[in-house]
Amino acid sequence: MEAFDMARIADAHLASGQLFHEFVRALRLSVGLYVLPAGATDPQRPHTEDEVYYVVEGEGVVNVAGDDRPVTTGSVVDVD
């Protein structure tokens, strides 16, 4: 078992200078922190893996295959 401290993850993410900071990698799972600045558009392209997004803070719109869904703090989105 591992437990993670969100403040340390956020610090490591900031230090990486990247939008996405992976902090768990296993055979069938990876977990990371993905941060977009306010007003930004996600530059990612569709992935081959299923994804789950949890909105830690803020609000926005998730568009998957032309389907817009509003999200806000606490939203969970399953993209498969």
Residues contacting 75, CB < 8 A, separation 6+: 53, 54, 55
What is the amino acid identity at position 56? V
Q: What is the pLDDT of residues 60-79, one digit of tens each?
A: 999 888 899 999 999 999 88
Residue 11 has pLDDT above 90, yes or no: yes
| Residue 61, pLDDT score | 93
Residue 37 has pLDDT above 90, yes or no: no
Segments of the chain assigned E as strands:
20-26, 29-34, 51-54, 59-64, 67-72, 76-79
Q: What is the pLDDT of residues 42-54, one digit of tens each?
A: 888 877 888 898 9
| Residue 14, pLDDT score | 95
Burial of 54 (0-12, 13-18, 19+ CB in 10 A): exposed
